[in-house]
Amino acid sequence: MMSGLKSSFNQWSLNKRIDLIYSNSFAANIATIFLSFLLVLAVNKSIPSNILWTWFSIISFIASCRLILAYYYQNKNKSISIENWAIIYTVSSILIGTAWAGAAYFYYLTEKAAIKSLVVMLLIGIIASAMIVLTASMRIFYGHIIPIFSGLTTAIIISGESYAFHMVAGFIAYLVFISAAGKNTNKHLTESLQLQYENQKLVLSLEEEINVRKNATNALEGHREKLEGLVEERTSQLLKTNEALTEEIKIRKKVEESLKHLAYHDELTKLPNRLLFIDRLGHALVRCKRHKTNVSIMFVDLNRFKKINDTFGHAAGDHVLISVANRLRKTLRTEDTISRFGGDEFVIIIEHEDQDNIEVLSEKIQELISKPIPYIDKSLSISCSIGISKYPDDGGTIDLLLDKADAAMYLAKSGN
């Protein structure tokens, strides 16, 4: 049984480690292309152009292939096992490490001390930076740094400089230090993953344990008459059991409340999601039918949102969505329901307002959303298109009201 648990943890841990490595692969490989280009610009007057650009082409090609691998991994290609994904990244790390090792050849080709120092410092930095993420797998880590270390020490040795021996000795000491630090980082990661795994197991077993304790409580109640003679003797023990059970129930309630919130709210904006929106709209229609009142639906779609995502990245897009959600909260009443349907679409339920007020509110929302949104050192501009449907004029069902509001939104968008 212990062997099975250990095997289960190892598989789970491997998934987490490879996830960590691939999730950081995008930034690492873009940085590789950028740094190699800067190196070419720095040494282009000291190294033959054909050698420089050939090397740059090779390292850029390998880094691009690694970017493609990371993309396919993020899309979770199920036809490839996690073990094979680890092997693929190990091979690609050896290739990119070998490509970086090619930069050590520049050390051999030039006589300029500044260029030699630049090459040495860059390659040492590449080795050090690998420790941040790649130590999640020591095989991948060594596959990346050993070719760089070998290429650099070989270039220094064959250059025949008087201080070559001392530099090589220093590099060996540096490699030993980096290896020790990498193993220590790997050890801490393993301990952290072990703790996460155990916590997950504990949470999963919590419900079963609570059920067992509830059954035990029911059994105790069923045999209450037979146990009356043992009440005084067992009082202390039962009090402790009840305290533990109460604490576990509190924990379970917190977990259930958290899961319920996640199920009915958008994780990014904290607004109600589609499920909660549909539920609230259903209740609103029941109230309107009973009291002969009205309810309006606003379908809000952001314009130029995709351009912001494509130009500034998804972090900027998320910032825009959060800002829009906050502006809607400040504009609308607490009894109004603001929902994020997904993507850049927001839907609003407004009860007990006449059509003129709804139009004024729509213009106010458009004006507010159109105000620039500060983001880091930039100012992001966005607008919105709004479609409105009204109960009972535009329909008496949820689907019909949503369809009418959606169609009105698209008509408004086509006019922008």
Query: Catalytic site residues?
Result: 344
For residue 182, which of 226, 128, 235, 249 has the smallest C-alpha distance? 128
Cα dihedral 216→221→226→227 (10° resolution): 70
Cβ of 410: how many Cβ atoms within 10 Å? Answer: 14
What are the structure tokens assigned to 209, written together? 């344990």
Helix (H, G, I), strand (E, B) or coil at 108: helix
User: Measured in whole angstroms, how far is the alpha carbon of residue 49 from the centre of its chain?
Assistant: 41
For residue 401, give the nearest of 388, 414, 386 by alpha carbon.
388
C-alpha span between 55 and 49 (Å, rounded): 10
As a three-state string, the secondary structure of 2-18 is HHHHHHHHHHHHHHHHH
Beta bridge partners of 374: 379
- Both tokens of 347, joined, read 């839907």
Q: Of 58, 133, 43, nearest to 98 (Cα)? A: 58
Nearest residue to 320 via CA among 347, 311, 362:
311
Q: How far apart are CA 262 and CA 276, in angstroms?
A: 11
Residues 391/382, Cβ–Cβ less than 8 Å: no
